Every structure is written in structure tokens, then in C-alpha cells.
Chain A
Amino acid sequence: GAGVSQSPRYKVAKRGQDVALRCDPISGHVSLFWYQQALGQGPEFLTYFQNEAQLDKSGLPSDRFFAERPEGSVSTLKIQRTQQEDSAVYLCASSFGAAEGRETQYFGPGTRLLVL
């Protein structure tokens, strides 16, 4: 079956522009995570959804970052007034059950965002 897909794969934005990044998780997966991966670093947690509920947004770096998953499937990560430090790869992952440490997360290919 299809894995996690993300779009666009690449996005170039001018500083100050708003961007929206889409994640299509594996069908039926309850949990959805967003991560930010800076160049040369491992992924860092941004936010977590269980179905349509955003249960944790502790990793969002500022109030310019906003995520939603209104129907419990597709999720969108929105960044307002992009800054150069927002340049990174944004990874989405989903897992079958409610998030706990044993759950395997399935990652999408990521969206590479470059802010000029």
C-alpha cells in the first residue's frame, strides 16, 4: 500500500511569505507527527496529532508555526512570515496506534523548504 506522502517536495519562499506543507499519512493511522530536520542534524519533534486532536505542540518554534489535521487524516503545517532560519526539511510521520514509545513511525520523504 501507499506510504506517507508529502507535498510539495521542494519549496522556495521569499522571506516573509507564508507557506503550507501537506502530509498524507498511511490510511487508518491514528497518530501523525511533524518534525523539522536542519541541515546536518537529526529530526526534531514539532507537533503530534491523535486523529484530529493536536495533543502536543511543544516543539513548534514560534507562533508563526501552525498545524492542523481537521478530519483526522491529511495534515497541513503552515508557516507564516517565513524567516531564513525556517529553512529545513520538514518530515511527517504516522503510526497505527496512539503514540507511545514502542510504536513504529513511518516517515514521508519530507518537504525541503528554502527561505531566501
Chain B
Amino acid sequence: AQSVTQPDIHITVSEGASLELRCNYSYGATPYLFWYVQSPGQGLQLLLKYFSGDTLVQGIKGFEAEFKRSQSSFNLRKPSVHWSDAAEYFCAVHPSGGSYIPTFGRGTSLIVHP
């Protein structure tokens, strides 16, 4: 069975500082990997996704993520955080064959200090 671990429940950064949110997955093959952001009272919005190829993927709002097969990780990064980035971030694994049911991590809440 696939699983996703987001080890940090909360992350606090100062505005303008860099950010890295961790995501580790467990899956039998290379899955499809997604990062979503959820602002209060909103649904999940796709930030970026990885299927294959270049292991560094660019997303919206200045976010990027790097797939590291050896570490089963797909960490999300942003070089300079803005106050509007404060939200909940979810990493998700979508199966690469057969099932279509995604598995989400429990989320990391990002707090941005001015």
C-alpha cells in the first residue's frame, strides 16, 4: 500500500526567507507526485506535479520541487516566501499503474511572520 509522510505539522518562516517542506512516500514503483496548497476555506489548488523526466519541477507561485528516488522524497521549495503563502500544503501520491486513488499526506501548515 502506498503512503505519504509529511513529517512537519507546522513550519514557521519569516517573510523573505527560503522554505522547504518535506515529503516522503512509500510506493512499489515511481508514483506520480503532486503538491497542493489549501488556503483557509478553500479547496486544494495544484502547485506542481511530477511524472517522469527532469527531477526538478517548476510550479506556480514560484514553487519548485525535487524528486529524489534514492530518498523516496519530493520536497517542496521556494526561495523567498511571501505572507500570502501562509496556508496548508499537501503532498500526494497518485498511483502510476492500475489504481487511480491518490494518497495524501496529513499536511504541513505554513506560518509566515512579517
Q: Are the C-beta atoms of A101 and B94 separated by less than 8 Å?
A: yes
Q: Does B51 belong to the interface (CB within 8 Å)?
A: yes
Partner-contacting stretch, out of A41-49, A61-69, A74-82 = A41-49
Q: Are the C-beta atoms of A42 and B31 separated by less than 8 Å?
A: no
Partner-contacting stretch, out of B38-46, B57-65, B66-74, B78-86 = B38-46
Q: Does A72 belong to the interface (CB within 8 Å)?
A: no
Q: Are the C-beta atoms of A107 and B100 separated by less than 8 Å?
A: no
Contacts A40-B106, A42-B104, A101-B32; is A109 near B41 (CB within 8 Å)? Answer: yes
Q: How far is the CA of A103 from the CA of B99 in the complex (A)?
A: 12
Chain A's closest residue to B93 (CB) is A101
Q: How far is the CA of A102 from the CA of B94 in the complex (A)?
A: 7
Q: Are the C-beta atoms of B43 and A48 separated by less than 8 Å?
A: no
Q: Are the C-beta atoms of A109 and B42 separated by less than 8 Å?
A: yes
Q: Does A110 belong to the interface (CB within 8 Å)?
A: yes
A76-116 residues with Cβ-Cβ distance < 8 A to B are 91, 93, 99-110
Q: Are the C-beta atoms of B51 and A102 separated by less than 8 Å?
A: yes
Contacts A99-B100, A107-B44, A109-B42; is A42 near B106 (CB within 8 Å)? Answer: yes
From residue B96, how far is it (CB to closest CB) to chain A in Å? 5
Chain B positions within 8 Å of A9 at CB level: 41
Q: Does A8 belong to the interface (CB within 8 Å)?
A: no
Chain A positions within 8 Å of B107 at CB level: 40-42
From residue B78, how far is it (CB to closest CB) to chain A in Å? 20
From residue A1, how far is it (CB to closest CB) to chain B in Å? 16
Q: How far is the CA of A28 from the CA of B101 in the complex (A)?
A: 21
Q: Are the C-beta atoms of B90 and A42 separated by less than 8 Å?
A: yes
18 A-B Cβ contacts within 8 A? Answer: A40-B106, A42-B105, A43-B44, A45-B101, A45-B102, A91-B44, A93-B43, A93-B44, A100-B100, A101-B95, A101-B97, A102-B32, A102-B51, A103-B100, A104-B46, A104-B49, A107-B43, A110-B43
Measured CB to CB, the residues of A under 8 A from B are 4, 9, 40-45, 48, 56, 58-59, 91, 93, 99-110
The 10 residue pairs across chains A and B that have the minimum distance between CB atoms: A42-B104, A107-B43, A99-B100, A101-B94, A107-B44, A101-B32, A109-B43, A45-B101, A101-B95, A108-B43
